[in-house]
Structure 1
């Protein structure tokens, strides 16, 4: 047995440890009822969004091809979620809108996590003037209203999905950077990092081999929580008319309902359907994020 372990390469042993850690993480996550409920709900939503072209062909969004459909039809067996002001089925618009809302949520979160992780590690690892400047940059973005800055960027840049992604990603990374910096400072004081530094390890080696693996669990937990915030931001920008008007999104549906005064005209389904969808998806991401945070944070897990 010992000879077999000794004959294994360091890389194989590292992958074995990662597989063991992932199996332990999956086992602990499966014990969280709220986390599993959120995960199952998200899997269903993502699957429906992926199958939107099959379940609801694009022609169902063409106003010229649904002229016989009644406008503002309330939910019924014939119209499950009701119709909008142009006779289009709301469930069709919600399926296609899920693609855009989830795409923006995941893409903007990925950009935010990458920027926040890089800046946070750099601010915690480098001392002196570089670290101080990076910390002031983090503080600046923390106190700056991110939604207002996102609105400004969306107004200046050309309208489109990727404009919203860039606007949200560039304005929501500071919180992640602060968490990563705190974890980096904690890891920097550990003995194995000090030994690596004494043995001549450079900045790149310490960051890649020691700091990055240590902060990734917190980044993962923060990612699931940030996706919900990004979806809300996308819906807000689309609601304000700063999104791509040629694409469907849940915020665009809410915008259309406001344009026709659906809330005061008795067309309650036009407002409730996209509103409840946004709330449920954000709640699901929050449940998953809290479950992940409980697993990766020893303090929360002990409680």
Structure 2
């Protein structure tokens, strides 16, 4: 609860929550915001933005604004779904390796190192190409199952430090079962690390999905921000001057990425004592400067009073 209070009070976190929450809300309420179906023809091909189609239409005459709203549903679902898978695997592997140590740690650490050595994007491209027109949910599963190693290494290193604390040693001496020590004593001390890993994984998943679908490795019938870019490329929207078809998905992906990045910076700022002390030092300097200014004004007032 203390971490959540600090997160809400952080300006970066608040701004990030507003940005990400806005796009989640607009995607969820897409049927109430737009009257058009994202998969049906609603106008002439490549109509410029006007009062009827605020973001214009595609080569197939589909409303770009409707596609952006409905596309956010799948794109955000892939991002958060993959993030959950990544964090679940990273926490399970990292805590197990860090707490039990010995042979278990050696085996799991070797598995982490193998996953870290393999370049992720080429691996994702090969898997997506092997599956053939992978659906958004399959892409989320592929990203989640291949992107957990870095987070697991961070969780393992933090678990190694926490397990040496007095409260963990005391619980072991009292004969507490391992699962209870992990869940009650160790896991709460890793919340900030897990939060940062989850947000970073969501950013990576959204960008990776858009990349794979832009390259034609996704399902072209699904409406996502990535397939919008894929269709834009196939219809040569840039060459014919249909900038609105390119503008919408790129800006939305950039805004969501920026919002999540702000959240990630805020979590890192709260979790890192050095960054917290840096912020506190700034505040201390500001308060000191204000007090010095007040003292100077009071001294000048006394001098003026004595002179009069």
Normalising by structure 2, what TM-score? Answer: 0.84
2:257 is matched with 282
The residue number in structure 2 matching 1:87 is: 61
Deviation track 1:198-227 (CA, whole Å, cap 9, x = no partner) reads 232332232222222221221012212221
Choose from 141, 146, 153 the match for 2:115: 141
| SS of aligned partner of 2:238 | helix
Q: Secondary structure at the match of 1:262?
A: coil
Which shows bigger deviation, 103-112 or 237-246?
Answer: 237-246
1:258 aligns with 2:233: yes
Which residue of 2 is the match for residue 269 of structure 1? 244
CA 1:249–1:60: 2 relative to 1, 3 Å: closer
Unmatched runs of 5 consecutive residues or more in structure 1: 1-21
| Cα 1:34/1:122, change in 2 over 3 Å | same
1:234 aligns with 2:209: yes
Residue 146 of structure 2 aligns to a residue whose secondary structure is coil
More divergent stretch after superposition (113-122 vs 200-209): 200-209
The structure 2 residue matched to 1:97, chosen from 67, 71, 85, is 71
Q: Does 1:170 align with 2:150?
A: no
Match of 1:189 among 164, 167, 172: 164
Moved more, 184-193 or 263-272: 263-272
Match of 1:128 in 2: 102
> In terms of mean alpha carbon deviation, does 51-60 or 175-184 score higher?
51-60
Contact 1:223-1:289 within 8 A present in 2 as well: no
Distance in 1 separating the partners of 2:147 and 2:36 = 33
Are the aligned partners of 1:109 and 1:230 in contact in 2 as well (CA < 8 Å)?
A: yes
Q: Could you tell me how far 1:57 is from its partner in structure 2?
A: 4.8
What residue ranges of structure 2 are gaps of 5+ in the alignment? 279-308
1:100-132 CA-partner distances (Å, limit 9, x unpaired)? 000000101000000011011111112222101
Is the deviation greater in 110-119 or in 173-182?
A: 173-182
Whether 2:175 is the aligned partner of 1:200: answer yes
Q: Distance in 1 between matches of 2:159 and 2:35?
A: 49
Segment of structure 1 superposing worse, 36-45 or 114-123: 36-45
Q: More displaced, 227-236 or 195-204?
A: 195-204
Distance 2:140 2:60 in 1: 29
Q: How many residues align?
A: 277
The separation in 1 between residues aligned to 2:91 and 2:35, in whole angstroms, is: 40
- Cα contact 2:20–2:259 (8 A) shared by 1: yes
Structure 1 residues 199 and 218: CA distance shift in structure 2, 3 A: same
* SS of match in other structure, 1:170: helix
Of the candidates 54, 69, 87, which is equivalent to residue 32 of structure 2? 54
Comparing 208-217 with 49-58, greater Cα deviation is found at 49-58
